[in-house]
Structure 1
C-alpha cells in the first residue's frame, strides 16, 4: 500500500494583536498603584501646641515654615507643596518670595516636642531674610470648632 503525501492546507496568517496579556498587566499595575498610593506619606507629622487664639483671615496664602520633632525645617511658599529646606535655602527662598509679595503673612509651626530654641532659630533666619512680622501657628483648643490652625504672637 502506497502512502500518498497529504496536502496541508495553508492557513492564512492573522495580523491581529492579542491584547489580553496587555490588559492583564495593566490591571495588575492598577491594583498595585491603588494599594500603594495611600501608603505614601507625603506630609510631615507636626503636633502643634493648642491655644485659644483666633484664626487670621487673609486672602493670600501665607508662607509656612514648619519645624518637625527632629528639628528639620520645611517650607511652603503660597500654594506650592511643602519641601524640606536647609537654613540657607530657607533664607534665600523666603527673602525672594517676600520681595515679590511684601504683604504676605509668614507663619512658623513648630512641633510641640521640638526644642523652643530651634523655633527661635527659624525666627532669626526669617528676620535675616527681611521678614518684618512672623506669626506662630497653633492648634485650636476645641478641635470640633475649626480645623484650621490659629496664628498669634506676631513679632
Structure 2
C-alpha cells in the first residue's frame, strides 16, 4: 500500500511540472482569423474601385492590369461625368482634364466607364475631350461575357 501512495504522489508532481512548463501559444486560431480576413479583403477590394453605379456593357476582351497611376472616369445613365468619385460640373471637363498632365511622359492611364444605355455620341464627346487634352492612353471598361456576340 505504501508503494501505491508513493507512485500516485509522483505522478501528480509529474503532471504539475508538465502544466507549468507549457509556454507555447496556439497560433492556429490566429491563422484561421487572418485567412478569413484576407479572403474578405480580396473579395471586397475590386468592388471599391469606383463608387458610381454603372451598368457596363459586355465584352470578351482580356482584362488589363491595374496600375497605381490610373484615373477612372465614369459616365452614368443620365450622362453626368465623374472623375474617380467626384462629379464634374457641366462645362468644367476641359479644366479638370488639364490637371491630369496627359501631355507629359508620365501621363496617367485613363479608364473610361460608361453606362450601356448611353448614347454613343455622349461617350465619343468625352473621348474627344480626352484626346484634345492630350490623353492618348484610354481604356474602356466592360463586364466580362462568356459568349461571343
Query: Which TM-score applies when normalising by structure 1?
Result: 0.54
Matched, 1:96 2:104: no
Query: In the aligned structure 2, how far is the partner of 1:43 from the partner of 1:83?
Result: 9
Matched, 1:86 2:89: yes
What are structure 1's unaligned runs of at least 5 residues?
1-41, 77-81, 143-155
Q: Residue 80 of structure 2 corresponds to which residue in structure 1?
A: 72
CA-based RMSD of the aligned residues comes to 2.2
Contact preservation (8 Å) 2:55, 2:116: yes
Comparing both structures, which one devotes a greater share of its residues to helix?
2
Q: Judging changes above 3 Å, is the alpha-carbon distance between structure 1 residues 101 and 72 closer, same or farther for their aligned structure 2 residues?
A: farther
Give secondary structure in 1 for the equivalent of 2:143. Answer: strand
Q: How far is the alpha carbon of 1:108 from its aligned partner? A: 1.0
What are structure 2's unaligned runs of at least 5 residues?
1-49
Contact preservation (8 Å) 1:92, 1:129: no
Contact preservation (8 Å) 1:87, 1:125: no
**Which of 35, 51, 55 in structure 1 is aligned with 2:59?**
51
**CA deviation profile, 1:53-99 (whole Å, cap 9, x unmatched):** 111114324111111111111111xxxxx111035433222222235
Matched, 1:60 2:68: yes
Please show how residues 3-152 of structure 1 align to structure 2 within 5 Å: 43-76=51-84, 82-86=85-89, 88-99=91-102, 102-142=106-146
Q: How far is the alpha carbon of 1:141 from its aligned partner? A: 1.4
Query: Which TM-score applies when normalising by structure 2?
Result: 0.56
Query: In the aligned structure 1, how far is the partner of 2:52 from the partner of 2:99?
Result: 24
Query: In the aligned structure 2, how far is the partner of 1:46 from the partner of 1:86?
Result: 19
Contact preservation (8 Å) 2:113, 2:142: yes
